[in-house]
Amino acid sequence: MLDYQKVLKEGPRRRAGMIVVLAVSLSSAFGQNGPPSDLPKMIVAPQEPSQSTQSAPLTLTLKDALEQAQKNDPQFLSAVSSARLAQEDRVQARAALLPSLDLRSEYLNSQGNGVNPESRFVTNDGIHVYREWGVAHQDLSATTLTKTAYHLAGAEEAVARAKAEVARRGLMVTVTKAYYALLNAQHKYATAQQALDQSKRFLDITQKLEGGGEVAHSDVVKSELQYITQEQAFREAQLVMQGARLDLAVLLFRDFNQSFQIVDDLGLTPALPSFQEVETMGERESPDLRAAMQAVRAADLDVKVAHQAFLPTLTLDLVYGIEANSIALRSIYTAAPDLGSAKRLGYFLTASLNFPVWDWGARKSRLRQSEIKREQANVELSAAQRQLVKNLHAAYEEAQAAREQVDLLRHSSDLASESLRLNTLRYQAGEATVLDVVDAQTTLTETRNAFNDSEIRYRLAIANLQAITGNF
């Protein structure tokens, strides 16, 4: 392990409370051959001073980060709430198909007629009437008998669930970008540490050679300028890493917690399947396409409901209970007490058949509305199908290009590391110039950063592809 304490104590890196927060294994970042031997094994990142009683930082994998973000993202939670509301709408639509049962307790205090104990109202046989009823109500219509409204609610629930899945996958891409942006920033921070250490060692070499009269002072000046450049690059890498951490913290924590570590899982990136497999998964698993198809189904059912509104409806009300001058199973009629007591518990059925005749064109307007919505839903389905094909091709080609770039830049990084080693040896032997070494240092930093970028690019390309196809 390289000693960076001397470097970290200089200039802007003199800060209290600098602790090691993440041990980054760069073996996965530089392939199976492992990183160059001089690459640091640990990233030292500045953190806020911590107390001895403070708990250890939370360690998060990408899966943990996704689960954490789903608890806090308002857009995703709104989509989930919409799906839950749609589910309750389907429950209510199913309940509307079944009879309803109510209990009713009434007391009718009517004005007498002044002649006998009867009420002035024909429907009441006395001035005191009690009703204790159980009422079963049922509406029978074409919509009820065919369960069209229930199927419509089910289709709308499917649309809402598909949109919630769209929101979930969109959040997955957002979190993945932020997660790997921080990981990439940490890798570049480590590379900047490495480059700064190399430039410091080379500055020491030139100063020693100048002291021995082997090189001119201009070599020392050039190496010192290179050291200053790498120091500035180190500061910028540190700033970028801190910004990336803040961006991820906003997505993950409601209390804006920055005390967390992330796991380097670039070596666990899934392999890219064939395009035929991707195309099949996209057609089967795409939430955008599923939402568009369910929207068309819902629009068709909505048109059917609008047509059925022109048909007659039947309403049934079955009442079972007591309507008497007293609350009893048997009692004497107030109007005819000489007849003795009679049974009071019984039932009656009311059936109402309603024929729609005239409503000033409201039903026809409703039908036209539903037909317009159906046309639009079919247009959106066609557009979703075309967009799916386009997105599949674009995402797959991006993933292919990124995968090829990873292999190419890994080899370039290895070559640049070897070039720096050889040029340093040649310079010490007097066979190379200071410009050769400085150029090799710059090339190594650039190729390593480019290699890190290519790995992140491939991981994000896979995430974008999985947003269409689902996990593979």
pLDDT in tens, 365-383: 999 999 999 999 999 999 9
pLDDT for residue 211 is more than 70: yes
Task: Compute the average pLDDT of residues 301-318.
Answer: 94
pLDDT for residue 468 is more than 80: yes
Task: Compute the average pLDDT of residues 8-26.
Answer: 34
What percent of the chain is modeled with pLDDT above 90? Answer: 70
* Whole-structure pTM value: 0.76
Task: Compute the average pLDDT of residues 264-268.
Answer: 86
| Residue 449: inside a domain | yes
| Residue 354: inside a domain | no
Task: Measure the CA–CA gap between 60 and 179, rounded to whole angstroms.
Answer: 10
Length of the chain equals 472
Contact (Cβ atoms closer than 8 angstroms) between residue 261 and residue 60? yes
pLDDT for residue 43 is more than 90: no
DSSP reduced 3-state for 51: coil
Domain that holds residue 187: 5-79+157-291+378-469
The whole-angstrom distance between residue 454's C-alpha and the CA centroid of its chain comes to 25
| Residue 170: inside a domain | yes
Task: Measure the CA–CA gap between 171 and 164, rounded to whole angstroms.
Answer: 10
Task: Measure the CA–CA gap between 94 and 154, rounded to whole angstroms.
Answer: 10
- Torsion angle (degrees, nearest 10) of CA 338, 343, 346, 349: -20
DSSP designation for 127: S
Buried b (16+ CB within 10 A) or exposed e, 439-467: ebbbbbbebbbebbbbbbbbbbbbbbbbb
Quickly list DSSP for 99-111. Answer: -EEEEEEEEEEPP
Looking at mean pLDDT, say which of 107-116, 331-340, 432-441 comes out highest. Answer: 432-441
Return the pLDDT at 334.
Answer: 66
Task: Measure the CA–CA gap between 406 and 451, rounded to whole angstroms.
Answer: 6
Contact (Cβ atoms closer than 8 angstroms) between residue 193 and residue 234? yes
Task: Measure the CA–CA gap between 327 and 334, rounded to whole angstroms.
Answer: 13
Residue 52 pLDDT level (bands cut at 50, 70, 90): very low
| Residue 91: inside a domain | no
| Residue 337: inside a domain | no
Return the pLDDT at 335.
Answer: 62
| Residue 299: inside a domain | no
Express each pLDDT in 144-180 by its tens digit: 999 999 999 999 999 999 999 999 999 999 999 999 9
| Residue 348: inside a domain | no
Structural domains in the chain (count): 1
| Residue 341: inside a domain | no
CATH number of the domain at 216, please.
1.20.1600.10
349 compared with 118, residue with greater pLDDT: 349
Amino acid at 324: A
- Its sign, for the CA torsion 227, 231, 237, 241, is positive
What percent of the chain is modeled with pLDDT above 70? Answer: 88
Task: Compute the average pLDDT of residues 262-272.
Answer: 87
Range from 181-185, 260-264, 281-285, 321-325 carrying the lowest mean pLDDT: 321-325
